[in-house]
Amino acid sequence: MRPVAFVRITCLLLYSLAAFSAAAQEIYAGRYKAIFNEAPRMVPTSKVPDAPLAGNGDIGLTLGGSPDNLCFYLGKNDFWRAWPVYPGGGIAFPGALQVSSEALKGASWYAEQVMDKAVVKGRFTKGNTSVSLTAWVAATHNTVVVEFISNKACRLQLKLWAPEGNTAVNGAGVTNQVQWVTRSFNDTALQEWPCHVAIAMKTLGAVVDQNNYIELLPGKKITITLTLYTSFDQPQWKEQAIREAGALTAVSVANMRIQHEAWWRQFWLRSSVRIGDPYLEQYYYASQYLLACSSRGDKFAPGIWGPFITKDSTAWGGDYHLNYNYQAPYWAAYSSNQIDLTNNFDQPLLDYMPKGVAHARSLLNVRGIYYPVGIGPRGLVTTRWPLTPEEMEKRYGTRENTIDDGFKFLGQKINAVFSVGNMLMRFYSTYDSSYALRVYPYLVACADFWEDYLKYEEGRYVIYMDHFNEIMPRLGSTGNWRDRLGDFNSTLSLGLVKMLFKGVVDMSTYLGKDQGRQSTWTHILTHLSQFPVGDADGRRSLQSVEKRPWGYEKPAGLNRVSIHGLLVPAGVAGPITDSSFNKILLDDVSHWKDKMKSGAEWGNTLNNGIETCFPGAVRVGYDPGEILQYLKERIARQSLSNWWITQGGGGIETLAAVPLTINEMLLQSYEGVVRIFPNWDHSKDAQFDQLRAYGAFLVSSRLRKGSVEYVHLLSEKGRVCVLANPWPGKSIQLVRNGKKAEVLRGAAVRFTTGVGEMIVVVSI
């Protein structure tokens, strides 16, 4: 190699390592905070609150009320009324702290949601009186901290309360200057397990009088702590909450805050992106913040609304909806290198397996597992038809409440397999053998089901009676709802089943298990029906199903539901997998504009699908500039002051939309090839640090002035890497652990890696 070239590589290497080190020190998310200039209007709510939010992945804090009557709503992911139907059943509301002050009646409202530190700040001003608050949910403890300080003397009245009703049993008292309330759902008819919660409050820096007033003196901080425990945290849940609250001091709270800030700092250092677009960056980091507030690996998985619960009977019971709502919030966490946030995902699915086996045998006479559309934790089913014919008629227009033995499958057989997508995303992203061993029985149970359920006809496997959309009786609908049953070869089902059998073969090979079954699985994989396409206005277009009872279906093009089966989460289609088929999908996306002429938004995502359609468009290679413009327009149409993007059908699943879209533009690997800036406008500078690629690689790169400057690749498991050459037509130099190594050439290069090896790739 020429000396000049070697010097250039060395300088680039030193520059890129310095850039990587600098990026690792800066919390880029600290540039963004949500600001509120008026009190929330959507609190309490059965869906997404528009309030300042904080959380630790188990406990959620929602700040509502008015300046003179602030309300700190407390939610907890493991507090459930374990009934099999909603309304009434599902995640429940533990309680709240109300803080009232006559001095602030009519005061102005100002609040901030500070994401890098995970705190909510507020300032309420009336005349020359200004009261400030700081509130946070301790990242490493079961405690919420609320701090007040004022420039003038004023009185605050505290009211700790838990809601009554919905068969709850309540308690309240004072123990050693700790106020506490409890709320319990005991063993009642149809309740699958009891659940209890305690909230214990201690005030530091002031004395609480017999009427629950405290004096806020000028410049003197008062700290109110709220410690929450459920019966799933601790058998002595009430005693533990009271004991921990009583032991808190100013020093211990200060230490708790140090741990809290350290946890969040480490969270933000796991990855970062910089795309030169502050509007999208703020939603990128806000979405990651809200997910981290909602999900923590060693706690119960969050339901549709996360822990931001402000009333009982939230929409859909706040359950785990298995035909995409439950899975979608996690989709960006894998590539964002936030694997620990996904540790709780699998447990509810594993817990339901015995019931899934029973459903498969009793309803379909097959092996494996068969899941309804909605479940909860600890084997709870949340989606039963109403328990009486009268209630069924009131809600669904028919008295038949024994459909499928009373469980809501809604004509879909694919619900259990939907979650395999997340399991495979994590497996391919980490190659963690202990994780693979944990979920492998679930994949095998799904494979058992589909081995029995698939029909082999005329040289191909086909799928009967698994429906592209939910099929159910509806109030006010005409005709017999069963007339809509009969989908044949749904694109959703074909794609997810293909994903399943590819994944179970890969995991079987990796673990060295069930080698004798691989021939059957591979035969299914290679002989599964092709995805149906047809002619639409002179072009080839995707069909939702191959046919329906009334005949062959007119092609509807790629949409939210078919994206689930093909692209996200399935990952069985794309420009590398099948370039010809990908062109059909790309052409379908280009026709999404047609519906905008009648007022619809691009991708039709106001009700559901923002987290699906935008990443799906990226994966098929649609124009990145248009994607980002449409994404910004969609956010502007329906999002809240706390930067939570909303839609009609669900809640925390939208938190994947912006991070997954951006991550897929900057780095792709789902087709077995690591691709750098695969769908990014190269005229715009961008940088990403430590995004996670399939193969257990952490990848960093920077695009500047139209050229990729470097690629860093940290190999966690020492697997072979296939990299699309970021510098087409040029040779590339590998630098392994700081030492110059191979020179490689080609459109895609293949090289070995060692466990823990850092490889820098530069052009020469």
- Residue 540: predicted pLDDT: 96
Q: What is the pTM of this model?
A: 0.96
Element (H, E) at 501: helix 491-511
Judged on CB neighbours under 10 Å (0-12, 13-18, 19+), 132 is middle
Lookup: tokens for 144: 């919420």
Query: How far apart, in whole angstroms, are the C-alpha atoms of residue 702 and residue 677?
Result: 9
Closest CA to 503 of 417, 430, 583, 584: 417
Query: How far apart, in whole angstroms, are the C-alpha atoms of residue 508 and residue 313?
Result: 42
Query: Which residue(s) pair with 218 in the sheet?
Result: 150
**Tally of residues, the chain:** 764
Query: How far apart, in whole angstroms, are the C-alpha atoms of residue 357 and residue 148?
Result: 54
E strands, 138-269, are: 143-150, 154-161, 169-175, 178-185, 195-204, 213-216, 222-230
Query: How far apart, in whole angstroms, are the C-alpha atoms of residue 91 and residue 449?
Result: 30
Residues 6+ apart with CB under 8 A from 161: 95, 96, 97, 98, 181
Query: How far apart, in whole angstroms, are the C-alpha atoms of residue 353 and residue 355?
Result: 5
- CATH fold for the domain made of 34-273: Beta-galactosidase; Chain A, domain 5 (2.70.98)
Lookup: tokens for 1: 């190699």
Considering the segment(s) 319-572 as one domain, its CATH architecture is Alpha/alpha barrel (1.50)
- Residue 553: predicted pLDDT: 77
- Our measurement of the distance from residue 59's CA atom to the centroid of its chain's CA atoms, rounded to an integer in Å, reads 16
34-273 has the same fold as 3-25+682-763:
no
Query: How far apart, in whole angstroms, are the C-alpha atoms of residue 11 and residue 97?
Result: 58
- Per domain, the residue ranges of the chain are 3-25+682-763, 34-273, 319-572
C-alpha distances (whole Å) from 215 to each of 144, 207, 246, 721 are 21, 8, 21, 64
Element (H, E) at 1: none
Closest CA to 644 of 319, 293, 286, 137: 286
**Positive/negative CA dihedral, 23, 29, 32, 33:** negative
Residue type, 138: A
Query: How far apart, in whole angstroms, are the C-alpha atoms of residue 616 and residue 634?
Result: 15
Lookup: tokens for 42: 């959507």
Strand order in the sheet with 545-548: 488-490, 545-548, 551-552
- Residue 4: predicted pLDDT: 38
Residue type, 140: T
Residue 652: CB atoms within 10 A of its CB come to 27
Place of tokens 């009190």: 39
Segments of the chain scoring below 70 in pLDDT: 1-25
Does domain 3-25+682-763 fall under CATH 2.60.40? My reply is yes
